[in-house]
Amino acid sequence: MIWRPWQVLVVLYAALSITVVNAYKHISSDHVVNTTLGQIRGVPQNFEGKKVTAFLGVPYGQPPTGELRFSNPKMVQRWEGQSRILRIFFLFDVITGIKNATTPAQPCFHFPDSKFKGFRGSEMWNPKGNMTEDCLNMNIWVPHDADGSVIVWIFGGGFFTGSPSLDVYNGTALAAKKRTIVVNINYRLGPFGFLYLGDDSRAQGNMGLQDQQVALRWVHKHISSFGGDPRKVTLFGEASGAASATAHLAAPGSYEFFDKIIGNGGTIMNSWASRTNTSMLELSMKLAERLNCTKKRKDPNTVHRCLVKHPAHVVLKEAAVVSYQIGLVLTFAFIPITSDKNFFQGNVFDRLRDKDIKKNVSIVLGTVKDEATFFLPYYFGHNGFSFNNSFLADGEENRALINISQYNYAMNATAPSLESSLEPLLEAYKNVSTRKEEGERLRDGVGRFMGDYFYTCSVIDFANIVSDIINGSLYMYYFTKRSVANPWPEWMGEKLENEKIFSKNIMSFWKDFIKTGVPVDFWPKYDRKERKALVLGEESVNNSYPNMTNVHGPYCELIEEAKASTNNGLTLKKYIEGEIKNNETNVF
């Protein structure tokens, strides 16, 4: 899922830590930092009177261009910088070699959203600037009074779109208000980050995840030059960014680079977050066929040599066709594979099953009310969920009041693999809403089912499994607030009446979590039996007592039963929990 800004802004700007370190003793008066890679110059910024230096577009990896397209990333070497003339005491000039980091990281090649042109609610997620393959870079915001804590933000977007430089991800306010260094990392997307031609080929899959790992290694090695403490790094991600953050739990090469995770709306167990190697190889070869790279020979080396010769925009265009032809809701073509030699160093789900993951870590996971409603106009606009941005968002034209036929169609199309076992779910989700009109209840039922099926239930499954493995604690929250800045209709999310008050409340949770591993005393550790999650909603602002929920447990049980009955008892949850023997069929 691509989290919306009214959720991201409130939750993202809520992370603090301890151990005061004056970052500006590392930064000269002209905003230059000395690193082992060379000197680097940032740009001064100010938020509410607090000083921040932003280092934008900082390279962490060598450009994966030309023959290195689809290759595993390599750490950047010492840079020469941009030469400039420096006048000393107005007497003479000298040449310096300082790397200017004053332009935001350019987006990697991605699939832009063109569904609702001119509508801020969708176009705000389209990265600005020209796409480039030379995109292994990051944006860093360093506050004047940094306390040593570091947040590494991993953007979401289904592994096919996104950028660390979106306006909503600007780290200036977070750095200034919370005294934490904010690092937004870039990584390759779509086929450039996840093409797979075989374990021994030159496109071994999961390059995008390896990009993230190299970025984390860069932070670990160099963040002290900016006043950060490499021992106090929290991974913070939303949607596929959260799936990425949790993937690092099962990546041995990442273990030393972080000690906490905050994940919003996704895990590596979500269905849209990975696919088998066999499936990815088939899709990769379909792309190769569309680019005429399989006419003479189909061996990996020949295909690779052909693919790297095509312009990036041509590869992207044909990859979009391959993805579109899948024809399934929230199912994307080029995403992480479950097994590899470099990142997971095995099968990610085998690691979870064998409890072979990073254990010295504390985690906060969140699910969101109306999690999937954003996608309803995209997939079912022809079936009652139309949205016309020329009308008022909450006008009668955009209420999406559907009938029972449209409800049944959308439910079946959301989970076609469950068709033979869908009846109990059809009945259950008809009445999850308390709205008066049937059209509203049916509409909300589809949104709730899509959210549970693709997001919430997998997050709960992951929490159940990981909470029994890690030495640290795991906490869950359920986000119910809606921002007044939300440009979409009201039925697509609860309104947030006072972001500032709400933000102050949860900021204290994040402060204590990053400091101690415990967000707040009254927030209980997650327990798979009670499944308690703290509600981050109106009650969190207006009441002095915590409001808890069990994050839709009963509905997830119905979904799990439906999956089991249509797959001969085989589900990912059962496999990881050891109820099914070895993965002989390579289903996962």
Sign, Cα dihedral of 117, 123, 129, 135: negative
Residue 161 Cα distances to 118, 241, 392, 475, 531, angstroms: 18, 11, 28, 29, 32
Bridge partners, residue 536, by sequence: 479
DSSP state of 252: G
For tokens 């808890």, name the residue.
548
Q: State the Cα–Cα distance between residues 510 and 514, nearest whole angstrom.
A: 6
Candidates 336, 375, 382; CA nearest to 212 is 336
Q: Could you tell me the residue ranges of all domains in the chain?
A: 5-350, 376-453
Q: State the Cα–Cα distance between residues 351 and 465, nearest whole angstrom.
A: 11
Per-residue burial over 335-364, b if 16 or more Cβ lie within 10 Å, else e, is: bbbbbbebbbebbbbbbbbeeebbeebbbb
**What separation, in Å, do the N-terminal and C-terminal C-alpha atoms of the chain show?**
21
* pLDDT of res. 93: 36
For tokens 């968002």, name the residue.
393
Q: State the Cα–Cα distance between residues 213 and 225, nearest whole angstrom.
A: 19
For tokens 């839709």, name the residue.
552
Helix crossing, 404-414 with 438-451: angle to 10°? 0
Q: State the Cα–Cα distance between residues 467 and 339, nearest whole angstrom.
A: 23
Contacts of 382 (CB under 8 A, 6+ apart): none
Residue 217 structure tokens: 């290694």
SS (H, E, C) 65-128: CHHHCCCCCCECCCCCCEEEEEEECCCEEEEEEEEECECCCCCCCCCCCCCCCCCHHHHCCCCC
Q: State the Cα–Cα distance between residues 172 and 54, nearest whole angstrom.
A: 8
**Looking at the chain, how many residues does it have?**
588
Q: State the Cα–Cα distance between residues 371 and 451, nearest whole angstrom.
A: 5
Contact 454, 272 (CB under 8 A): yes
* pLDDT of res. 108: 97
Q: State the Cα–Cα distance between residues 293 and 437, nearest whole angstrom.
A: 55
Phi, psi of 342 (to 5 degrees): -105, -45
Q: State the Cα–Cα distance between residues 508 and 520, nearest whole angstrom.
A: 8
**10-residue mean pLDDT series, the chain (588 residues):** 41 36 56 93 93 97 97 90 47 60 94 60 68 97 94 95 90 88 97 98 98 99 97 95 98 98 96 97 98 93 97 97 93 97 98 98 92 76 59 46 85 90 94 78 88 94 96 92 47 49 70 80 87 79 67 82 89 91 63
Contact 181, 23 (CB under 8 A): yes
Task: Give the count of beta carbons closer than 10 Å to the beta carbon of residue 431.
Answer: 11
Q: State the Cα–Cα distance between residues 450 and 212, nearest whole angstrom.
A: 29
Residue 477 Cα distances to 104, 175, 535, 549, angstroms: 32, 24, 6, 9
The H or E element containing residue 366 is: strand 362-368
Query: 3-state DSSP call for residue 44?
Result: strand
Quick one: 5-350 is in which CATH superfamily?
A: Alpha/Beta hydrolase fold, catalytic domain (3.40.50.1820)
Q: State the Cα–Cα distance between residues 256 and 138, nearest whole angstrom.
A: 20
Q: State the Cα–Cα distance between residues 197 and 303, nearest whole angstrom.
A: 8
Contact 157, 184 (CB under 8 A): no
Candidates 552, 578, 338, 566; CA nearest to 452 is 552
* pLDDT of res. 507: 66
Q: State the Cα–Cα distance between residues 58 and 79, nearest whole angstrom.
A: 11
